Amino acid sequence: MKQSGYRTTFHIYSIFFLSLSGTLLVVCCLFAMLITAPDPNGKNVRSDWAKNFTLDFSDYIIFVDGSPTVKQTGIERLQDNHIGLQILDTAGNEVYGCQKPGNAQDTYSNADLLQLNQTGHLDTEDMTSFVGIVTERGKEYAYVLHFPMNIQKVTMYLNGERFTGGKKIVFSTIGILLAVIISLGLAYGFLMTKTIRKLVTSIQDISGRCYLPVKAKGAFRELYNSLNELDAGVKTSDKLREETENMRREWIANITYDLKTPLSPIKGYAEVLQDDTEKTAVEYRRYAGIMLKNAAYMENLIDDLKLTWQLENGTLPVNRREQNIVRFLRELSIDILNRPEYESRMILFECSDNITDETALLSFDTKLFTRAFQNLMINAFVHGTKDTEVTVKIGVSESELTINVSDNGGGMSNVAAERLFERYYRGTNTESKTEGTGLGLAIAKNIVELHGGTISVNSTPGAGTSFLIRFPGN
């Protein structure tokens, strides 16, 4: 963890230092652009070159018979650098000129000379003029050099006691700035390392299921909110997985019990038939009937398991054809009531007024629909009382076909209704265990959805249960 923190600090500091170096480089480049300028020949020189040239040019001015003139070498320097020259007398009148610009004045007032000395410009920015002084026999002559360059003069007034040299001030300022920035970079790096270490610890706590939600604030507010949401999602997933695992174990225990229950009488009566040879034919037939009944029950359990697996994995073949769903459900209801165990029960059948001649066409697999609606109707009888009645209502509209299978039984709680279609949920307590795998309603839901429909349940304790199946219209 410490090595990772050091590496993080080094990376952050490196990025910070590189950014600082780049900024300083840009500043230096800009500063260099400010203190340099191209001379008339196109060569980059310091911006004070024109001023120094002006101060040095006084050495090239000579006086002949009291009149000012310029040495030949001076004239050559003026020509080489395309610089114009005007020498003025004490009244400001031009007494000598060389390569004088066309817009230069012949006479300069004291105000003009002062402006030229301060700004270097009178009427145009394309040319910069510098003023120098030369003395001859106690008389001062001003000379003006016109440079084809645009140079801005800047004047600064500094504390003479403290300012001992520009270089020292610049280097000291840069050194202090670097020290401050490096210190801030290190502090920021350690702060970021501490924050990242805390984030890594939080992620490890989430993985270890020991994370405590953090109150989000600061620059990492959104990140902490995401960690809190991730922890909540992980805990919810763990809870769901635990509930699913508990239901699976309960379901396996129920299936094991249900498989052993019919095996006991089969094994018992088989042993009786094997050991006792003096039984009558009536007794043999009774024993055989009990064994066959329990074998059929086991077969139903195995069929439910197989069908559940096929539906879950999408390997069940579907043989759909368009049929009259009204006739199908009516015949299915009659078949159920013809069974001895349900012959005293009641199934009411209703059709909406817009169903003509009790005909409503729907494409479905007869075998699968028989299984699904048998589960719904028989489930009401199994979990209800002997007076429980089932009502089947069929309705048709332009957009859908609806089938409502309801009963007037005892109903169930909202919690039980929400879990009714779960594969591992039996919906009965262990003290009053009913026959079945707990897969009937889950199978019914899968079959309905396999045909493009939806199924929902609405139940009220003491008022019965209603299943609403919807199929989209053709």
Task: Give residue 431's pLDDT.
Answer: 41
- CB neighbour burial string for 276-314, b if at least 16 within 10 angstroms, e if fewer: eeeeeeeeeeebeeebeebeebbeebeebeebbeebeee
Do the Cβ atoms of 424 and 250 come closer than 8 Å? yes
94-98 β-sheet, strand order: 94-98, 84-88, 139-147, 128-136
CA distances from 112 to 164, 269, 428 (A): 34, 135, 111
Residue-number span of the structural domain to which 302 is assigned: 237-311
pLDDT digits (tens, 9 = 90+) for 411-432: 888 888 888 887 656 554 434 4
In a domain, residue 368? The reply is: yes
- Whichever domain contains 301, its CATH number is 1.10.287.130
Question: How many other β-carbons are positioned within 10 Å of the β-carbon of residue 366?
Answer: 13
Co-location of 454 and 361 in the same domain: yes
Helical ranges in 36-71 per DSSP H? 49-56
- Better-predicted residue by pLDDT, 254 or 397: 397
In a domain, residue 216? The reply is: no
> Is residue 281 pLDDT above 70, yes or no?
yes
439 closest CA partner among 306, 336, 259: 306
Co-location of 334 and 428 in the same domain: yes
Co-location of 27 and 173 in the same domain: yes
- Better-predicted residue by pLDDT, 288 or 251: 288
In a domain, residue 282? The reply is: yes
Task: Give residue 18's pLDDT.
Answer: 74
Do the Cβ atoms of 318 and 307 come closer than 8 Å? no
Last residue of a domain, one of 311, 341, 362: 311
| Cα–Cα dist 218/226, whole Å | 14
In a domain, residue 154? The reply is: no
> Is residue 164 pLDDT above 60, yes or no?
no
In a domain, residue 335? The reply is: yes
Co-location of 376 and 467 in the same domain: yes
Average pLDDT over residues 250-271: 76
DSSP, collapsed to helix, strand or coil, labels residue 152 as: coil
Average pLDDT over residues 445-454: 91
Question: How many other β-carbons are positioned within 10 Å of the β-carbon of residue 41?
Answer: 9
Opening angle at CA 423, ends 421 and 424, nearest 5: 115
Task: Give residue 384's pLDDT.
Answer: 84
Co-location of 252 and 305 in the same domain: yes
Co-location of 122 and 168 in the same domain: no
Co-location of 29 and 171 in the same domain: yes
In a domain, residue 224? The reply is: no
Co-location of 279 and 321 in the same domain: no
Co-location of 367 and 450 in the same domain: yes
Single pTM value for the model: 0.47
Task: Give residue 322's pLDDT.
Answer: 93
Last residue of a domain, one of 261, 287, 311: 311
Pairing verdict, β 346-351 and 389-396: parallel
Task: Give residue 323's pLDDT.
Answer: 92
Co-location of 388 and 326 in the same domain: yes
Q: Mean of the per-residue pLDDT values for the chain?
A: 81
In a domain, residue 231? The reply is: no
Number of domains in the chain: 4
Average pLDDT over residues 29-58: 78
Co-location of 18 and 130 in the same domain: no
% of the chain surpassing 70 pLDDT: 86
pLDDT digits (tens, 9 = 90+) for 324-380: 999 999 999 999 999 988 889 999 999 988 887 888 899 999 999 998 999 899 988
Average pLDDT over residues 152-172: 62
Dihedral sign (CA 269, 275, 281, 282): negative
Co-location of 272 and 350 in the same domain: no
